[in-house]
Structure 1
Amino acid sequence: MSSPILSLENASLSLKSNAGRVDILRDITLDVGQGETLSLTGPSGSGKSSLLMLMGGLEKPTGGTVRAFGHDLGEMNEDALARLRRAHIGVVFQSFHLIPTLTALENVMTPLELGGHDEPERRAREELAAVGVEHRVDHYPSQLSGGEQQRVALARAAAPRPGLILADEPTGNLDGPTGETIIELLFGLRDRHGSTLVLVTHDTPLAARCDRMVGLADGRLAESPRR
C-alpha cells in the first residue's frame, strides 16, 4: 500500500442511551492508501455508515485515533474539521443532501466559494457537465429526478478536487439502471482527480470492483484479502 491518506488505530465509537452505553464501533484498525478504492460491507446496523462518519470527521471517536491528511481528527474542533473537509474530503450521501433553495449550479459552487477557489462558477459548470447535467444548472433540487440530484451531489463532492471521497450507499435511493450510471460516474470522478474512494454498499458486485473489501459485523472489522 502507498502511504496512508487515512489511518484508524483502535478507533471506537460509543453512545449513551437510557439503557446504558451502546458500542457502535469497536477497536477498528485500518489504513487506506492514496488512490485506493475501498468498500465497506456488512449487514444493516453493523457500523458501516458510522465508520464512514469517523473517517470524515463527522463523528469523533470515543476511543483510539483517526488520522486523515496528517491530522488527528479527534483533537480538532468543529471549525477546524469543517475546513479540513472543505479542502480535502468530499462526501456523497444516499439522500443527496442538496440545499433546496439553491439551484444545481449554486449547490456545486457553494463549497468552492467557501474554500476560496478561483472561478467557482466555471469549475462548477465543468463538474456538472462531467456528470451529464449541464442542461439542468438553473433547476432546483425539487425540479430534478433522484438520479439527477445524485449527479449534482457527485459534482459538488468532486468540485474542490478532494483527496478523499466518502460515499454512503450512493445508489440506495435509485433504481437499478440509474444506480449503475451513478457508480460509473463515481469511479470516473475518482479516476479523473486521482482521489481515494471509500464506498459503503450492500451490493457485492459493486464492492468487488474496489481494490479492497472490508466487512463489518457487530461493530468489528473483518478485512478481506487484497485482490
Structure 2
Amino acid sequence: MVTPKTDIVLSLADARLTLDGNAGPVEILRGISLKINRGESVGLTGPSGSGKSSLLMLMGGLERPSAGEVNALGHDLSMMGEDALARFRRGNMGIVFQSFHLVPTMTALENVALPLEIAGAADAYDRAEAELEAVGLGHRRNHYPTEMSGGEQQRVALARAVAPRPEILLADEPTGNLDAKTGAAIVDLLFGLQASHGATLILVTHAADLAARCSRVVQIADGQIVGDSGAGA
C-alpha cells in the first residue's frame, strides 16, 4: 500500500462514535475534528469516561466512526475493510496498550519479532534482538511474559511496537499498571524511542506531568474536544 507523504499524519473531521448500551445507543464521541502533524507528541487528557481511549481506537482503525471521517497518512480508514486495515496498521502504526497484550506462549524475542515476521522481514530476529537491547532487555530475550515483571512486559510491548519503525505510535495509558518509579522509566523510554525513530506519538494519559512532556495537549470531556494547546498552530 503506497502511503502519500504529507505533514498531516492524522486527520479527523466531525468524527462520531455511537455504541449500543443496555439502555440504548450511547454517544461516546460527539463530533471530533482534529489534525495532527508529523513528529508531534500529543497527549490526550480528560476525566475517566470522557472518550480518550475511544478516540485513540478511532485513530488506530480499531473502531469505526459512526459518522465523519478518520484519515491516517492520506488513507480514509472508515472506507477500508478489516484486512486492509490490518495491513495498514502493520506497516504504519505501533500500538501500546495498558495491559501489554503480549503473546503468553512466546518469548520476549518472539513477541518483538512477530510483527516483523508477519511483514516478511528476513532479519526479523536480528532486528527484534536489537530492539530488546535498546529497551534494556537483551538478557531477557528467552523469557516468557509470566517470567517478567510488569515493567519488563511493558518494555517488551514498546520494543514490539517500534520494531517495524511505524510513522504513528499510539499509546493508551502505557504506565497505568505500573508503580511510579517503573512508570517514569517507561515514559523516558517511550519519548526516547519516539525521538530516535521520528514517529508521531499520540498518548492517552490521566497524568498531568506526562501530558506536560508532550509538545501538544488535547483535552477531551463528554466526547468532545474542550481544549487544544496546538489549536491554530
**TM-score interval, normalised by the smaller of the two chains:** over 0.9
The Cα shift of 1:127 comes to 0.4
Q: Map 1:51-62; keep pairs closer than 5 Å.
A: 51-62=55-66
Spell out, residue by residue over 1:140-194, the C-alpha distance to the aligned partner (whole angstroms, 9 max, x if none). Answer: 0000000000000000000000000000000000000000000000001101110
Cα deviation, residue 217, structure 1: 0.5
1:47-196 equivalence runs, <5 A: 47-196=51-200
Aligned-pair CA distance for 1:19: 1.5
Say yes or no: does 1:217 pair with 2:224.
no
- 1:23 and 2:51 matched: no
* Structure 1 CA distance for aligned equivalents of residues 118 and 227 of structure 2: 37
**3-state SS in 2 of match to 1:79:** helix
Secondary structure of the corresponding residue to residue 101 of structure 1 = coil
- Give deviations 1:63-93, integer Å, cap 9, x for gaps: 1000001111001011000000100000000
Corresponding residue to 1:9 among 1, 6, 13:
13
Letter aligned with residue 92 of structure 1 = V
Shift of 1:118: 3.0
- TM-score w.r.t. the length of structure 1 is 0.98
CA RMSD of aligned residues (A): 1.0
Gaps of 5+ in 1: none
- Structure 2: stretches of 5+ with no match in the other structure: 1-5
Amino acid at match of 2:204: V
Which residue identity is paired with 1:191?
A: A
Q: Partner residue of 2:3?
A: none
Paired residues, what number? Answer: 226
TM-score (normalised: structure 2): 0.95
Structure 1 stretches of 4+ moved >2 Å: 223-227
Deviation at 1:195, TM superposition (A): 0.2
Distance in 2, Cα, partners of 1:120 & 1:194: 21
